[in-house]
Amino acid sequence: MWSHYADSNRGICLQFRTTSVIQPHFLFALEVAYVKERPTLDASDQSARDWPLLLTKAKRWEYEREWRLIEQNRHGARSFPKWDLVGVILGASISADDAAEVSRWAAPYCKAERIHRAEPDPRSFTLNVPGLPRE
């Protein structure tokens, strides 16, 4: 996902607490379905929801294991309570200046040991994040 969504490994990934009692926003996250055929929508059926279109991707993207937060009547960036930030992953190709800036603004909200940097795996076409527990 880094090459597709994080400016070719120069971006960041924010890790959030998913069990916030104060604002349980992740309770409403929806899992994306990965299918072989594109879903269709019957435009004449006014009762039909757009959910299948919003929550479906091609089978080849299944490795992403994506979840989405979808809010009706809301556009643009979404803010989260600062106390829900529990970690940051820096992209493998992030510049030193950007890494320092991200570390500076993240420091008040998450411990330094929770800021990791992705690294290319020497044997495969994947990225590793040293210090980050694997599933």
Predicted confidence (pLDDT) per residue in 109-122, tens digit: 887 778 899 998 89
- Please state, in angstroms and rounded to a whole number, the distance separating the CA atoms of residues 87 and 65: 19
The amino acid sitting at 120 is P
Q: How far is CA 50 from the centre of its chain?
A: 22
Token pair for residue 46? 């006014």
Position 48 pLDDT exceeds 70: no
The two three-digit tokens of residue 8, written as one number: 């070719």
pLDDT at 90 > cutoff 80: yes
Answer whether residue 78 shows pLDDT above 80: no
pLDDT at 104: 92
Grouping H, G, I as helix, E, B as strand and the rest as coil, residue 105 is helix
**Domain-by-domain residue ranges, the chain?**
1-23+80-135
SS3 (DSSP) at 70: coil
Q: How much is the pLDDT for 30?
A: 86
Percent of the chain past pLDDT 70, that is, above it, reads: 84
pTM over cut 0.85: no
Which is nearest to 14 in space by CA: 77, 96, 97?
A: 77
